Structure 1
């Protein structure tokens, strides 16, 4: 097959080059249609019971994650001049398109009893900018007396205050989001400049806006870095401009294809899919290295350009196909998950890795067939003394110390297993933002002063219409709210209870001492006041359904992480709920909210990634079985690639790096890539076994010499290619880059040391010629005399000047 393919590619090279150019042009036209995703990743399946409950909650009570908060803590705010500026800022923010409402200290309303209309009317506390300090202090005390706002807008302990902006989520989930954020900063930044008061920003809309902006920036950064790094490494290896430029052409084509594929499938740029172009760069370059290195090796042997180009397709085309397939498996197994973002990432990355094989196998031979043959200078890397010394050292270690290598490996694995037991599974709502970033520091500000900003909801279902207004039920909910308010990780809840208490306070002329639930006697004369107020009715509809059967307790929680959150909900909140609402009452209480579903989604994501790793191992083992048809060879090939994964997991445990979606993703990707080296080595080893009459030691030495250089080159490219991700501002991306680089470097060492050691120790080298494995059917299994069987005339549809001397670069 690959003999025919070699003749086909070289004979119709111009047509194939034009075909690749046309497909690339088609994908390039699609790229302007590519969109960024502005939504938090939907990880929990839509049919999950908790997801279904949250969807029903949003339909009944509205969005729980549409609040953006701006906080500050500075005593200079409480001067007439600065307070007037703060009031002006609040009013200006209300005018921004996409802001549905603003609640802050200067525009804070209070309920006032109107006996003539028998109603409660909302009345602004600050009707204008206070002109004197005495007036401001008096009104501030009046604001502090409104207990409904205590620790909601004002922290009475230290004077910290916040501004709550309700935003239109359709704007946040669209490209118009950036305009909204720019408008917001145009209003808030002048306040900071004129007053010297630092503002803090948080809330789900703000986090989403910041993270999507950073994804867009990092997509460009990593694409540039990956291209520059790989180009420099290629030049360092081959000392040839051609060996840099044309592999980069291959990579450029694949970048265009990968971005165009996203558009064709209707996918958007997310934190994961944004990594695909630089990953394609890093993974695609090894194809070019193997092809170029083999081309130079063949040309050094034969001095015949056309024959050398034909041989690189015939000899390593099949192995390159298999290695690209196993690499793609590491991504395609993500299709086995129920998670949309993983499926999108897996299918686009996997398909484009397979496409990289096709493009590189066409472009490298076709382009280099038009170029002068490599000069002696370009072949000098084949005789690199430094590389030769390294390979000689490996050869000596394998032959003389193979059992020591295996013992050292066992020792490292045992130590690593101790670290594996220490790995913790933990995820945060704002998981990937560095500690020193403004976003993280602002988050801490709100957690310290207001208990947090991440949404959490509790729904109380009485099971009967108007059951919420039952005095006993109201008392039990009030007890639950007091318990929740006492928890340091939570903000005080707000619900219909708070409005009933505020109504009672308003009825008694605003005295804070009356901020309590109405008694049964008081309810009879408070009820007409409440029924006559349409504003209170609209407000209460956000916290109670139309039938009065269900009520909502809305609160905010600190970003304490999945483990602490699990303890908070399951060991503290739910036991208190069961105590206050025993089953005999028939009242259902459920905790929900975007935060809990996000945390659950991360846990679900990790479980799916573990499963995908197992699937990848099984599929690759089956591939090995088809290739080698030998149980020993399957185990021997898998062990060197499992060891790096165990060592990396151990490092995570010792270094305190938690298992989270970004770090769990490492293992299936790294395994799919690292097994490529094993396939290249074993394919060459099986060929040399036949050539050396099943002399295992000689076959291993020759295999190390020929494949070792390419394995080292590609591993260095992969190492530095993934290292660039440590420059990310997202902690998960940093961990992905650092740990994947370490894993692949370890895989290179195990494939160059442990794999041949295992072969020497456990492989007899004896195989029946009439029971050939699949790997032996590809064109590299030949004898040297077969070179003459190539019909050079069939390749000459377009003339090649075979003996043209190289002019160099």
Structure 2
């Protein structure tokens, strides 16, 4: 098959190149429309009961994660000139396109009773025009301090910290307009700081996600550029040839365009995960070029026939390269089995384009170099680098003479790895991966210290009957539950219809703050008529109760304490007390919101990635089994690839790197890539085994000395290609870069040292006629060898030899 493929590529190289060019033009057209994703809800399956419930909640009560919080803590804000600047800032923010509402100290309202109409009306506390002196401000502040509804929400009584809560319209929240909106808020904030000297802090999910989206876009460009630059430099150092550097990079550029085109064609958007695909394609695709070019130069040195060398490249390296790309693609494509949208999108785009990289490389490199002059002696120096030759000769001696030492070292490392793996733990944060020293994290800590955080948590109370919410008995039960919630340190003061009823009682008593409480049975008769006058569709209640007054919402803000502590808080603290309080009533309560859904989504991500990784192991093992038709060869091939991943897991355990989506992904990527070493080694070993009369020691030595160079070159490219991710702003991406590059380097060592040692120990080199594996059946002349000496193949009676052995 590969012989015919080689002839086909060489014969039709121009039409094939034109086809690739045409596809690239089409993909380039669609690539320009690829957009960043601004919706972070795709981590829980749409059919999950909690996800369905949350969607119903959003339809009923609106968005819960739509608040941008701006905070400050400076006594200078209570000087009338600075306070007026704060009011101007809030008014300017309110006029930004996409802003729904602004709740702030300068704009707070109070309830006043209208006895004529028997209803409450909202009026501004800071009424009138511009504040012109300190006396006027102080009087307004005294009135504001009476509004108990806001205490703990936008004002911290203990230290005077102030929060400005900015709600974003739904249509803006999940679109690119959100970035412009948050940037405009920051711009106005900077002007405020310049005029007052008061520092502002920014938080809230829309703000954090806008920062992340912008950084993903920036890092996509930076890492893509760095990966191209680094791999280009390495190729130039190895091959001493501009054409051996430029053309592989052109191939990678083509596939990167295909990646972005695929994202658009499939209707996907660029996420934190898919944003890593282009630089990953660079570092995965370059090894294809290294193996193909290295074999081309080796064949050229052997017989000085360019056309024959190019044909031999396709025939002898084509299958191995196909298999390596296939196993890598399997590592990504198994993500299609995940229930998580962003994982499936990442898997399909990465998997398809890994195979596209193989196709483009196999066509363009032989085709282009068939038109180029033969390599000069300068270009062939990489075949005779003394440092590498000496190192590979040392490895050859070790695997032949000191295998027990190699096994002993491997046993010690495996023991070390097993101990470390037991220290692994799993945890995720809402604002994950950003470094602690980042401004975003510091601002988040400001809100956690002063307002118990800004992450949304919702509790839905169903009273079980129409108008059950205005039943004082039910309100008292809810108030008891809210008092418990308020006592929890990571939880903010709850806001619900209970808060409104308390504020209504305070308003009824002329805004005396000591009456901020639920009405008793006697007071209920006086206050209820006012509440009835603005129930149902009133603007005061519609975000917190349904139209039948049966269901209500308790809205909370929580600190970003991590998935493990959040799970304990919700399921171990809040839920048991909630069940206890409402046990003897008709009231049912359910916890929902962006925060618990996010935590559950991350758990889904990790579970799906683990399942996909196991499936990848199975599929790759089956692929190896079909190719080599031997359980022994499967074990020999997989053992050197399990050990590096075990070491990586151990390092995560020892250094406290948690299991989370970005770090679990390391194992899927590295396993698919590291198996490539084994396939290239075993494919060459089978060639050598047949050409060297089934003498295993000589076949192993020749394989180490030839394929070893390509493995070293490839590992260097992969190491430096992935290490660039260590310069990311996201902790998970940093861990991915460091751990992936380390794992792949270790994988090269185990496949170059442990794999041949295992072959020498367990492979006898004796095969029966019926035992020929698929890798031999795919290409009848795949194992012919013309490098060292001319051999009359007609005189080699392989089958007769086996017959006599039997």
TM-score by length of 2: 0.96
Tell me how far apart the structure 2 counterparts of residues 714 and 204 of structure 1 sit (CA, whole Å).
41
Paired residues of 1:316 and 1:780 also in contact (CA < 8 A): no
Partner of 1:780: 782
Structure 1 position 62, deviation (Å): 1.0
Cα pair distance change 1:211/1:783, threshold 3 Å: closer
Matched, 1:65 2:65: yes
Match runs of 1:569-584 below 5 Å: 569-582=570-583, 584=584
Partner of 1:469: 470
Name which of structure 1's ranges 401-410 and 133-142 shifts more when overlaid on structure 2: 133-142
Matched, 1:143 2:141: no
Partner of 2:389: 388
Paired residues of 2:149 and 2:503 also in contact (CA < 8 A): yes
Tell me how far apart the structure 1 counterparts of residues 439 and 132 of structure 2 sit (CA, whole Å).
34
Match runs of 1:555-570 below 5 Å: 555-570=556-571
Paired residues of 2:536 and 2:547 also in contact (CA < 8 A): no
Tell me how far apart the structure 1 counterparts of residues 118 and 311 of structure 2 sit (CA, whole Å).
95
Cα pair distance change 1:291/1:5, threshold 3 Å: same
Partner of 2:653: 653
Structure 1 position 143, deviation (Å): 1.1
Partner of 2:25: 25
Structure 1 position 490, deviation (Å): 0.7
Partner of 2:175: 174
Paired residues of 1:530 and 1:536 also in contact (CA < 8 A): no
Partner of 2:7: 7
Paired residues of 2:537 and 2:547 also in contact (CA < 8 A): no
Tell me how far apart the structure 2 counterparts of residues 590 and 533 of structure 1 sit (CA, whole Å).
27
Q: Deviations over 1:134-166 (max 9, x none)?
A: 332232122111111111010000000011111
Matched, 1:672 2:669: no
Structure 1 position 119, deviation (Å): 2.2
Q: Deviations over 1:740-781 (max 9, x none)?
A: 111101100100011111111222221113421111233431
Paired residues of 1:531 and 1:537 also in contact (CA < 8 A): no
Structure 1 position 191, deviation (Å): 0.7
Structure 1 position 108, deviation (Å): 0.6
Partner of 1:46: 46
Tell me how far apart the structure 2 counterparts of residues 431 and 745 of structure 1 sit (CA, whole Å).
27
Paired residues of 1:231 and 1:248 also in contact (CA < 8 A): yes
Match runs of 1:113-152 below 5 Å: 113-127=113-127, 128-152=129-153
Tell me how far apart the structure 2 counterparts of residues 536 and 82 of structure 1 sit (CA, whole Å).
38
Q: Deviations over 1:349-368 (max 9, x none)?
A: 10111111111000000000
The count of aligned residue pairs is 788
Paired residues of 1:172 and 1:209 also in contact (CA < 8 A): no
Structure 1 position 696, deviation (Å): 1.6
Tell me how far apart the structure 2 counterparts of residues 179 and 659 of structure 1 sit (CA, whole Å).
33
Name which of structure 1's ranges 10-19 and 656-665 shifts more when overlaid on structure 2: 10-19
Tell me how far apart the structure 2 counterparts of residues 535 and 313 of structure 1 sit (CA, whole Å).
75
Paired residues of 1:121 and 1:533 also in contact (CA < 8 A): no
Secondary structure of the corresponding residue to residue 123 of structure 1? strand
Paired residues of 1:83 and 1:129 also in contact (CA < 8 A): no
Which 4+ runs in 1 deviate beyond 6 A?
Answer: 785-789
Partner of 1:703: 703
Paired residues of 2:687 and 2:785 also in contact (CA < 8 A): no
Structure 1 position 172, deviation (Å): 2.5
Name which of structure 1's ranges 87-96 and 157-166 shifts more when overlaid on structure 2: 87-96
Tell me how far apart the structure 2 counterparts of residues 594 and 356 of structure 1 sit (CA, whole Å).
39
Tell me how far apart the structure 2 counterparts of residues 668 and 644 of structure 1 sit (CA, whole Å).
13
Match runs of 1:267-346 below 5 Å: 267-346=268-347
Paired residues of 1:456 and 1:596 also in contact (CA < 8 A): yes
Tell me how far apart the structure 1 counterparts of residues 57 and 234 of structure 2 sit (CA, whole Å).
55
Tell me how far apart the structure 1 counterparts of residues 230 and 46 of structure 2 sit (CA, whole Å).
41
Structure 1 position 472, deviation (Å): 2.1
Gaps of 5+ in 2: 794-806
Tell me how far apart the structure 1 counterparts of residues 487 and 283 of structure 2 sit (CA, whole Å).
52
Tell me how far apart the structure 2 counterparts of residues 4 and 164 of structure 1 sit (CA, whole Å).
68
Secondary structure of the corresponding residue to residue 38 of structure 1? coil
Partner of 1:795: none
Secondary structure of the corresponding residue to residue 33 of structure 1? coil
Name which of structure 1's ranges 682-691 and 611-620 shifts more when overlaid on structure 2: 682-691
Partner of 2:512: 511
Secondary structure of the corresponding residue to residue 68 of structure 1? strand
Match runs of 1:525-564 below 5 Å: 525-533=526-534, 537-564=538-565
Partner of 1:363: 364
Q: Deviations over 1:410-460 (max 9, x none)?
A: 111111111111111100001021111111111100000000101000011
Partner of 1:157: 158
Tell me how far apart the structure 2 counterparts of residues 263 and 228 of structure 1 sit (CA, whole Å).
26
Structure 1 position 692, deviation (Å): 2.1
Partner of 1:742: 742
Name which of structure 1's ranges 123-132 and 636-645 shifts more when overlaid on structure 2: 123-132
Paired residues of 2:239 and 2:379 also in contact (CA < 8 A): yes
Partner of 1:681: 681
Structure 1 position 531, deviation (Å): 2.8
Matched, 1:226 2:231: no
Structure 1 position 530, deviation (Å): 2.2
Secondary structure of the corresponding residue to residue 554 of structure 1? strand
Cα pair distance change 1:530/1:404, threshold 3 Å: same
Partner of 2:797: none
Tell me how far apart the structure 1 counterparts of residues 527 and 473 of structure 2 sit (CA, whole Å).
18
Structure 1 position 133, deviation (Å): 2.2
Secondary structure of the corresponding residue to residue 205 of structure 1? helix
Partner of 1:800: none
Paired residues of 2:535 and 2:541 also in contact (CA < 8 A): no
Partner of 2:757: 757
Structure 1 position 691, deviation (Å): 2.0
Partner of 1:372: 373
Tell me how far apart the structure 2 counterparts of residues 529 and 489 of structure 1 sit (CA, whole Å).
35
Partner of 1:796: none
Tell me how far apart the structure 1 counterparts of residues 442 and 593 of structure 2 sit (CA, whole Å).
23
Matched, 1:441 2:445: no
Cα pair distance change 1:438/1:492, threshold 3 Å: same
Paired residues of 1:454 and 1:595 also in contact (CA < 8 A): yes
Name which of structure 1's ranges 771-780 and 310-319 shifts more when overlaid on structure 2: 771-780
Paired residues of 2:462 and 2:551 also in contact (CA < 8 A): yes
Secondary structure of the corresponding residue to residue 249 of structure 1? helix
Tell me how far apart the structure 2 counterparts of residues 445 and 181 of structure 1 sit (CA, whole Å).
19
Cα pair distance change 1:537/1:523, threshold 3 Å: farther
Secondary structure of the corresponding residue to residue 165 of structure 1? strand
Paired residues of 1:201 and 1:442 also in contact (CA < 8 A): yes
Gaps of 5+ in 1: 790-809
Tell me how far apart the structure 2 counterparts of residues 75 and 535 of structure 1 sit (CA, whole Å).
41
Cα pair distance change 1:85/1:534, threshold 3 Å: farther
Partner of 1:86: 86
Partner of 1:211: 212
Secondary structure of the corresponding residue to residue 53 of structure 1? helix
Matched, 1:602 2:609: no
Partner of 1:807: none
Paired residues of 2:300 and 2:309 also in contact (CA < 8 A): yes
Name which of structure 1's ranges 267-276 and 154-163 shifts more when overlaid on structure 2: 267-276
Partner of 1:641: 641
Name which of structure 1's ranges 688-697 and 657-666 shifts more when overlaid on structure 2: 688-697
Tell me how far apart the structure 2 counterparts of residues 788 and 353 of structure 1 sit (CA, whole Å).
39
Matched, 1:712 2:712: yes
Structure 1 position 279, deviation (Å): 0.8
Secondary structure of the corresponding residue to residue 377 of structure 1? helix
Q: Deviations over 1:34-69 (max 9, x none)?
A: 111111141110111111111111111111111111
Cα pair distance change 1:333/1:786, threshold 3 Å: farther
Name which of structure 1's ranges 559-568 and 753-762 shifts more when overlaid on structure 2: 753-762
Paired residues of 1:468 and 1:550 also in contact (CA < 8 A): yes
